[in-house]
Chain A
């Protein structure tokens, strides 16, 4: 299960990941076989100004959050980590929604359930 502990509610959006974490994860979702830190860096630096060390730190943070998995592989240049995402984009989004709804219900109880019922019935009528 993906560990989502930090969900930030802004005025315009719901942020689960930092912008750089999001960009890194987007790249990993496109490649199932996994990627090296350097490969992700080369792809990302075309889009934005970023340091190799930042990518390494972000990947380690995502690994700690159990969003990505890693293994040591031996290849050109010696030992290195291969990172891959633990779940698909849709699985990740579902997990975030599930956690968010669960937390709202835990916090507000029946009021949250009643609100969701009203909201869904309104949406259904539309």
Chain B
């Protein structure tokens, strides 16, 4: 039955042309993300564009009316499973990455910092960077960790272990580093790239790999620019690696 559907699809020139254009654009978007220097917003848009255009022919195939009935109703083979699962995985992955995981961290941490000095510092530099002030959460862990993400509301997570071993200036350097990540939307780009690596076989063929070192360097540069020295960010990094 699936063969019948497939034949019906191939003889329909309009749909074949649509599928070819869609796949070509998907390849172009992938190469653009890989090779051009673009803003984070554009990169994320291209990644999602690539995935949607890559899955579009499958959707077109399953919603084809070859023999008068929708192909989707006849299909019970691997092809049909792939056709359904790819767009579903994209939607579920997006919800998980941008809603469920941030919500999990937010609710599992729960503890906001009560340190007014830290809050005032973050407020000041949020306005410098022209971003909404992120919430600052304290993670009950002795391992020195700090991370941030941008979802509906951006947030910075700092472990108690980090506050224990870093000096005031070093903590400020780490906070500046995380604020720069929020400004760059690093977490959004990181997760989108992860989705593309998982869901798109073309990204594997093109050897697409999201290099975070550039974003890390940019975040460090911001901390150094504000503090006018690399001393604190470097000593903070040294202490974190020592305690690892």
Contact = CB atoms under 8 A, between A and B. Distances in A.
Contact of A74 (B114, B143, B242): B114
Interface stretch (A51-59, A86-94, A104-112): A51-59
B242 A78 contact: no
SS class, residues of chain B in contact with chain A: helix
Interface residues of B, number: 21
A36 B163 CA distance: 11
Interface string B97-127: 0000000000000010111011000000000
Contacts of B143: 60
A79 B243 contact: no
B30 interface: no
A63 B242 contact: no
Interface in B212-227: none
Given A38-B164, A52-B165, A53-B165, A78 B142 contact: no
A6 interface: no
Nearest to B141: A60
Interface string B28-59: 00000000000000000000000000000000
B121 to A, nearest CB: 11
A56 to B, nearest CB: 5
Contacts of A38: 164
A81 interface: yes
Interface of B: 111, 113-115, 117-118, 138, 140, 142-144, 160-161, 163-165, 168, 171, 239, 242-243
Q: Which 8 A-B pairs have the closest CB atoms?
A: A78-B115, A60-B142, A53-B242, A53-B243, A37-B164, A56-B165, A79-B138, A74-B114
